[in-house]
Amino acid sequence: MAKVLVLYYSFYGHIEAMAQAVAEGAREAGAEVAVKRVPETLPAAVLEQAGAKLDQSAPVASVDELPEYDAIIFGSPTRFGSVVSQMRNFLEQTGGLWAQGKLIGKVGSVFTSAATQHGGQESTQLTIIPTLLHHGMVVVGLPYSCADQMGIDEVNGGSPYGASTVVGGQGERMPSEKELAMARFQGRHVAEVAAKLAGR
């Protein structure tokens, strides 16, 4: 069975919910799954004042553990059309792994959230993907066999780059069932690809 890490940062809980759905999908494919967060960089007072969700149960990941997994699925909210600084800070600490080629051949994938349908979901995913390619990872997205991304009957995220959710300008909207289904599909798909590449 493939070993999959769902590694995320979530401020208000939207990406946390998506991460759990991604993990469910990976487990459905028979993977051994860990769900972890990147370290917070904001002071506690700032988080409390902004209404951040502080009761997240996922443990904090370390850079050194990344090579233990066959696949890493990264989740980050969108900030001005790009990945949040907490995730970028974590990724920029992986230079030692890059120098040793520790992530070459492992699967990488990305999911995200944004305030609006055109708030930067795809550009956020595209800002993470080059980092994965520099590490020599095999990038897996959300194929069009996941038909939910094709629908126009309701507001929803999702693209070939990965699952996403539209949360509203005040963060008032949690992921819909369709968006969670796309997240589960992505987790399952990544786990299946990782198992094939790892020969498991």
**Domain ranges in the chain?**
3-197
Q: Which amino acid is at 86?
A: Q
pLDDT of residue 107: 98
pLDDT of residue 151: 80
pLDDT of residue 199: 84
Tokens 């002071």 label which residue?
43
Q: Identify whether the C-beta of residue 103 lies closer than 8 Å to the C-beta of residue 139.
A: no
CA distance 194 to 188: 10
Bridge partner list, 3: 32
CA distance 52 to 35: 19
Pick the CATH number of 3-197 from 3.40.50.360, 3.40.720.10, 3.30.830.10, 3.90.1150.200: 3.40.50.360
- Which mean pLDDT values do the consecutive 10-residue runs of the chain (200 residues) have? 97 97 98 98 93 93 98 97 97 98 98 94 96 98 94 89 94 95 98 92
pLDDT of residue 174: 95
pLDDT of residue 155: 86
Helix spans in 92-176 (H): 95-100, 121-134
pLDDT of residue 152: 83
pLDDT of residue 39: 96
